[in-house]
Amino acid sequence: MKYVKHVSELIGHTPLIEITSYSLPKGVRIFAKLEYFNPGGSIKDRLGQFLLKRAFDEGKLKEGWTIVEPTAGNTGVGLALAAIQFKVNAIFVTPEKFSLEKQTLMRALGATVVNTPTAFGMQGAIEKAKELLEEIPHSFYPGQFQNFANPDTYYESLGPELYEELDGKIDIFVAGAGSGGTFMGTSRFLKEKLPHIKTVIVEPEGSILNGGEAGSHRTEGIGMEFLPPFIDRDYFDFIHTISDKDAFFRLAEIGRNEGLLIGSSSGAALEACLREAKQAEPGTNIVTIFPDSSERYISSGIYE
Catalytic residues: 44
Q: How far is CA 199 from the centre of its chain?
A: 16
Among positions 70, 142, 178, 204, the unique one binding ligand PMP when judged by CB under 6 A: 178
Work out how close the CB of 288 gets to ligand PMP at its nearest, in angstroms, rounded to a whole number: 11
Span of 18-26, 114-122, 172-180, 251-259 interacting with ligand PMP by CB under 6 A = 172-180
Span of 5-13, 20-28, 83-91, 173-181 interacting with ligand PMP by CB under 6 A = 173-181
**Should residue 292 be labelled a site residue for ligand PMP when binding is judged by CB under 6 A?**
yes
**Should residue 291 be labelled a site residue for ligand PMP when binding is judged by CB under 6 A?**
yes
**Should residue 288 be labelled a site residue for ligand PMP when binding is judged by CB under 6 A?**
no
d(CA 259, CA 36): 13
Among positions 11, 28, 113, 222, the unique one binding ligand PMP when judged by CB under 6 A: 222
State the pairing for strand pair 29-34/16-19: antiparallel
d(CA 296, CA 63): 30
**Should residue 28 be labelled a site residue for ligand PMP when binding is judged by CB under 6 A?**
no
* HSE (side-chain half, CA atoms, 13 Å) at 39: 18
d(CA 40, CA 36): 8
**Which of residues 83 and 251 has its CB atom nearest to ligand PMP in the complex?**
251
Instruction: For the segment 124-143, give every residue that binds ligand PMP (CB under 6 A).
Output: none
3-class SS at 302?
Answer: coil
Among positions 38, 49, 66, 74, the unique one binding ligand PMP when judged by CB under 6 A: 74
Which of 237-271 are b and which e, b meaning 16 or more Cβ less than 10 Å from the residue's Cβ?
Answer: eebbbbbbebbbebbbbbbeebebbbbbbbbbbbb
Residue nearest to ligand PMP (CB): 221
**Should residue 221 be labelled a site residue for ligand PMP when binding is judged by CB under 6 A?**
yes
**Should residue 182 be labelled a site residue for ligand PMP when binding is judged by CB under 6 A?**
yes
**Which of residues 177 and 251 has its CB atom nearest to ligand PMP in the complex?**
177
Work out how close the CB of 27 gets to ligand PMP at its nearest, in angstroms, rounded to a whole number: 29
**Which of residues 12 and 180 has its CB atom nearest to ligand PMP in the complex?**
180
CA distances from 19 to 62, 177, 244, 288 (A): 43, 21, 21, 10
**Which of residues 157 and 182 has its CB atom nearest to ligand PMP in the complex?**
182
> Which parts of 24-148 fold into alpha helices (H)?
44-57, 74-86, 100-108, 121-135
Binding marks (x or -) toward ligand PMP, 264..283, rule CB under 6 A? -x------------------
**Should residue 40 be labelled a site residue for ligand PMP when binding is judged by CB under 6 A?**
no
d(CA 187, CA 185): 6
d(CA 221, CA 251): 15
Work out how close the CB of 1 gets to ligand PMP at its nearest, in angstroms, rounded to a whole number: 35
> Which parts of 66-148 fold into alpha helices (H)?
74-86, 100-108, 121-135
Residues that bind ligand PMP (CB under 6 A): 42, 44, 72, 74, 176-183, 220-222, 263, 265, 291-292
